[in-house]
Amino acid sequence: MHSIDDILRASAAWVWFPRDGEQEKSALQLVRYPARIGGGVRASQVDSTDDAHTVLDHAIARTREWGESQLTFWTNASDRPDLEQELQRRGAEHFDTVAVFARPIDRLVVEVPAGATAEIVRTLEQVREVDAINVPVWEQSPLDDAGLADELAAVLSGLAAGEGFHVLGRLDGDAVSTGGCTIVDGFTRLWGAATLERARGHGAYRAVLAERLRASAELGAVTALVKGRVSTSAPILERTGFTYYGDERAYRLTVA
């Protein structure tokens, strides 16, 4: 069973490196996202002896060097120094907040209503269905045939290695929800949950959550860690029995 310190460290260490992206780790973690998923640079994990002004200047300069115009910064309680006030001072827009939740998997019970089902993604057609959900929810470009094939290869590789998997959720057979997970140090990081707007509130997300927990336990995970949006999944996670460990806020800064 993971301690509170373990959970907070695992939350701070969590960063996604998209396929075809670029990254730099110095005073903070910077990740350049490919154009197919919106582009721009994501910053997190500040660990520096410099002041907030200097650290943010470096992030802005690197964003420009990459030819990007948008820097998104995710705050975390472990950041040293804390950049939140400096971001606000420079006019950064606070546009998103996630709540950090965790819970031992064996203490979670997810009630799934009739008609809501979920399955692990293993085929090209399932990848295509996942993409059809992600495109409108995350406002990203659809994958072409080569991209779908690459995505399937990545999904199957992760599944075969026991490192993670994708789940597809359905309502009465219609693909409407999805989510993934990655297994790291006994944690299952639950990420990428997306449900088509027309299907929300009918149990598809809960079906995807339940399947991710079940399959993660089979792969040896003992604690589920998730960052839920306060306006969507966070209330469901609280009702399911997850414990709240604080917020992370996203700021968006346009750089010239």
Determine, yes or no, domain membership for 35: yes
Determine, yes or no, domain membership for 104: no
- Residue position matching structure tokens 């604690």: 223
Identify whether residues 80 and 151 lie together within a single domain: no
Identify whether residues 78 and 149 lie together within a single domain: no
- Per the structure, the complete domain to which residue 226 belongs is given by 109-240
Cα-Cα-Cα-Cα dihedral of 254, 29, 243, 197, to 10°? Answer: 40
Sequence-ordered strand ranges (E) for 33-159: 41-44, 70-74, 93-104, 116-120
Identify whether residues 57 and 128 lie together within a single domain: no
Residue 8 DSSP SS3: helix
Determine, yes or no, domain membership for 198: yes
Identify whether residues 94 and 34 lie together within a single domain: yes
Q: pTM value?
A: 0.88
- What gap in Å lies between CA 40 and CA 255, rounded to an integer? 10
Give the DSSP letter of residue 141. Answer: P
Identify whether residues 131 and 230 lie together within a single domain: yes
pLDDT per position in the chain (256 positions), as tens? 799 999 989 999 999 999 889 999 999 999 999 998 999 999 999 999 999 999 999 999 999 999 999 999 999 988 999 999 999 999 999 999 999 999 999 999 999 999 999 999 999 999 999 999 999 999 999 999 999 999 999 999 999 999 999 999 999 999 999 999 999 999 999 999 999 999 999 999 999 999 999 999 999 999 999 999 887 888 889 999 999 999 999 999 999 7
Alpha helices in 102-254 (DSSP H): 124-138, 145-161, 204-218, 233-240
Identify whether residues 187 and 140 lie together within a single domain: yes
Give the DSSP letter of residue 202. Answer: S
Determine, yes or no, domain membership for 77: yes
User: How buried is residue 82: exposed, middle or buried, by Cβ count under 10 Å (0-12/13-18/19+)?
Assistant: middle
Identify whether residues 200 and 91 lie together within a single domain: no
Identify whether residues 131 and 155 lie together within a single domain: yes
- What gap in Å lies between CA 58 and CA 91, rounded to an integer? 17
